[in-house]
Amino acid sequence: MLIYPPFTPVIAALPVTVPFVGPEAQERKSGAKFRARMGANENGFGPSPRVIEQMVKAAPDMWMYGDPDNHDLRTAIARHHGVSIKNIVIGEGIDGLLGLLTHMYVEPGATVVTSLGAYPTFNFHVAGAGGRLVSVPYENNHENLEGLLEAVRREAPQIVYLANPDNPMGSWWEAQDINRFIEALPQTTMFILDEAYCDLGPATILPAMDIARPNLIRMRTFSKAYGLAGIRCGYAIGEESVIAAFEKVRNHYGVNRMAQIAAQTALEDQDYLDMVVRKVKAGRDRIAAIAAENGLQPQPSATNFVTVDCGKDGAFALNLLNALLARGLFIRKPMAPGLDHCIRISVGLEHEIDALAEEMPGALEVARAL
């Protein structure tokens, strides 16, 4: 009988969990490539040509580690936001930064407040730290700000998490609503404001940059509007002493040289970003029109996806999702109660949206027959 070194009690008690089943795994299982990759909220328009050019130039230097201080990228981001380099930390996407923040603030048994059905990777990190999740249901397809505040007052959590714009519903709150939420929080609760999709929504959703609050940290990414999901690079903006604490736990060589160069070049090409934002809006409009033409209810979105209310229960929405998967269209859906009657469709390239329009009627016919 084999004797294994013991896991920690927290890890031993957790089930084996895969937060997302990737399209690659699904393709391996089916033995066929997807016709349309519209499920992971990637940006199929890709990065700026200037970014690709700089990545090609940098390729011969990949024998070197990246700058562990991420100095040039941090400097560019600080200049972009009008803050100090000391207010910026770089990480392996927002996912990596969420893991670090959880490590910094959550001990076994500590409480964290989030929304029921919000970004599952954050929950994954909290579970891995032994934290206790308190989840607040969505209200009218929005994260419930008053409900979250009630939970914070009741539970006195270490962290409260909110995404604006939101994933998986694509909804958003205006800056004044976010500011009221911030003002109402106790100073002892860290507020993670996940702004992964902020470049794709209206400018009115963004509060003014405030780096004086030790209990507020804002997260941004190059994965969405900038078209660089594959390089895994994001950043957090916060008060100087909070950002300095990341140095105690972060992987200093985690963001590679290619990622640093690509992200900095992407940030400097705002004209390309503006063009992508226009294309994403046009794609959202097309997806919404296809949904409406088929008797479904597209939800307003400030992201690079459209969440579609299927008009029935979660089982019907899952049947529709599976019927679209069988037709070569990779999409996803929310799974939490109250949201699971929807599917979520990322903006794709023109031929992918054409495939959605072609296949949606037949997929609905199959779903309705089950």
User: Which sign does the torsion angle of CA 181, 118, 107, 221 carry?
Assistant: negative
Residue 264 in 3-state DSSP? Answer: helix
- What is the pLDDT, as a whole number, of residue 71? 98
Say yes or no: 224 and 196 in one domain: yes
Q: Is residue 16 part of a domain?
A: yes
Residue 1 lies in a domain: no
Mean pLDDT to the nearest integer, 82-87: 98
Q: Is residue 2 part of a domain?
A: no
Q: Is-contact 197 219, C-beta < 8 A? A: no
Q: Is the pLDDT of residue 17 over 80?
A: no
> pLDDT at residue 19 above 80?
no
Determine the residue type at 109: G
Helix (H, G, I), strand (E, B) or coil at 17: coil
Distance CA 301, CA 8 (A): 42
Residue 171 lies in a domain: yes
42: CATH: 3.90.1150.10
Q: Do 293 and 219 touch, CB atoms closer than 8 A?
A: no
Asked if 186 and 276 sit in the same domain, the reply is: no
74 and 116, same domain (yes or no)? yes
Do 275 and 263 reside in the same domain of the chain?
no
Rounded mean pLDDT of 336-365?
A: 97
For residue 1, what pLDDT is reported?
Answer: 80
- Inter-residue contact 158 to 106 (CB < 8 Å): yes
Q: Which two tokens stand for residue 37?
A: 């990759």
Instruction: Determine the residue type at 299.
Output: Q
In a domain, 4, yes or no: no
331 within domain boundaries: yes
**Same-domain check for residues 31 and 82:** no
Distance in angstroms (rounded) separating the CA atoms of residues 131 and 125: 9
16 and 138 belong to one structural domain: no
> What pLDDT, on a 0 to 100 scale, did the predictor assign at position 248?
96
Q: Give the pLDDT mean for 349-369.
A: 97
313 in the same domain as 222: no
Alpha carbon of residue 158 to chain centroid: 21
| Domain stop point among 243, 268, 293 | 268
Angle formed at CA 363 by CA 361 and CA 368, multiple of 5 degrees: 95
Please tell me whether residues 72 and 188 are part of one structural domain: yes
Select from 226, 248, 268 the last residue of a domain: 268
Out of 247, 268, 289, pick the residue that ends a domain. Answer: 268
Contacts of 123 (CB under 8 A, 6+ apart): 114, 133
Question: What domain range is 56 assigned to?
Answer: 49-268
Number of structural domains (the chain) is: 2
Mean pLDDT, all residues of the chain: 96
Kindly state whether residue 111 falls inside one of the protein's structural domains: yes
Radius of gyration of the chain (CA): 21
> What average pLDDT does range 306-323 have in this prediction?
97
The region of weakest confidence among 3-12, 129-138, 149-158 is 3-12
d(CA 235, CA 246): 12
Mean pLDDT of 71-83: 98
- Burial of residue 329 (CB within 10 Å: 0-12, 13-18, 19+) is buried
Each residue's pLDDT tens digit, 167-226: 999 999 999 999 999 999 999 999 999 999 999 999 999 999 999 999 999 999 999 999
Instruction: Tell me, yes or no, whether 172 lies in a domain.
Output: yes
Does the structure show a pLDDT above 90 at 78? yes
Q: How far apart are CA 354 and CA 258, in angstroms?
A: 34
Specify whether 63 is located in the same domain as 25: no
Span 222-243, pLDDT tens digits: 999 999 999 999 999 999 999 9
Look at residue 107 in the predicted model and tell me its pLDDT.
96
Task: Say how far residue 214 (Cα) sits from the centre of its chain.
Answer: 23
**Do 257 and 317 fall within a single domain?**
no
- Whichever domain contains 80, its CATH number is 3.40.640.10
Q: How confident is the model at residue 334 (pLDDT cuts 50, 70, 90)?
A: very high
Amino acid at 201: G
Percent of the chain at pLDDT above 70? 100
pLDDT of residue 331: 97
pLDDT at 164: 98
pLDDT digits (tens, 9 = 90+) for 284-298: 999 999 999 999 999
Using CA atoms of 287, 292, 298, 300 in order, give the dihedral in degrees to the nearest 10. Answer: 80
Task: Specify whether 218 is located in the same domain as 229.
Answer: yes
Do 141 and 288 belong together in one domain? no
How much is the average pLDDT of 131-146?
A: 96
Find where tokens 């607040």 sit. 136
